[in-house]
Amino acid sequence: MNKITIGKVRTSVGVRGYFKVLSFSGEVVHFKKLKGQAVEFRLNSRTKILAVEDVKMSGSNLTMKVEGIDNPEEAKKLSGWELFVEKNKAAKLKKDEYYLIDLCKCSIIMDGNVVGRVKGLSDNSVSDLLEVEVDGKVKLIPFMNQYIGEVNIKKGTIELKEGWLLE
């Protein structure tokens, strides 16, 4: 499956079943293209497929309405659910931007050798940190140009410039 999460339902708004959505990318324009489309909503192991009736934007504020949710009580029940779509319906990537799902398929290489595997990504407010499994242990590597070289999603590799980060 090639679906990615693009946002999360925050809370209901208004009286007609609309709800606020937090965009994980910070971009909201691609949500407009979801009108009339079926979107997968997930919360833990539960899944719902709901058709998007309307999308409204005001600056970076985003509200949505889906079929079958027509009042604030029902909309509030979606709070915390995440929205999943096919990658081609998500925000377009700019240069040097990557989807987390693609990074997590990558091996870390140094001097042509695989030295670890990306398991996740976390944020320490200074930079994103790659969570890299090395010999059964997780190491955190700043996802910054001074430590990371070429990122090749097609080959599934991320070049590590500084080996001491794995010690």
Rounded average pLDDT over 67-74? 96
Residue 95 lies in a domain: no
Express as a percent the part of the chain with pLDDT over 70.
99
Residue 1 is predicted with a pLDDT of 52
Closest CA to 7 of 59, 53, 58, 60: 60
Residue 18 and residue 77 share a domain: yes
Residue 155 and residue 80 share a domain: no
Segment 13-36, tens digit of pLDDT: 999 999 999 988 888 888 999 999
Rounded average pLDDT over 133-160? 94
Please state the domain count of the chain.
2
The residue from 62, 89, 116 where one domain ends is 89
Euclidean distance between CA atoms 109 and 117, whole angstroms: 9
Domain with 15 in it: 3-89
CATH number at residue 55: 2.40.30.60
Euclidean distance between CA atoms 39 and 47, whole angstroms: 10
- Do residues 51 and 66 lie in contact, with contact meaning Cβ atoms separated by under 8 Å? yes
Residue 107 and residue 57 share a domain: no
Is a pLDDT exceeding 70 seen at residue 119?
Answer: yes
Residue 94 lies in a domain: no
Residue 118 and residue 55 share a domain: no
Q: Rg of the chain's alpha carbons, rounded to an integer?
A: 19
Residue 11 lies in a domain: yes
DSSP sequence for 86-153: EGGGSPPP-TT---HHHHTTPEEEETTEEEEEEEEEEE-SSSEEEEEEETTEEEEEE-STTTEEEEET
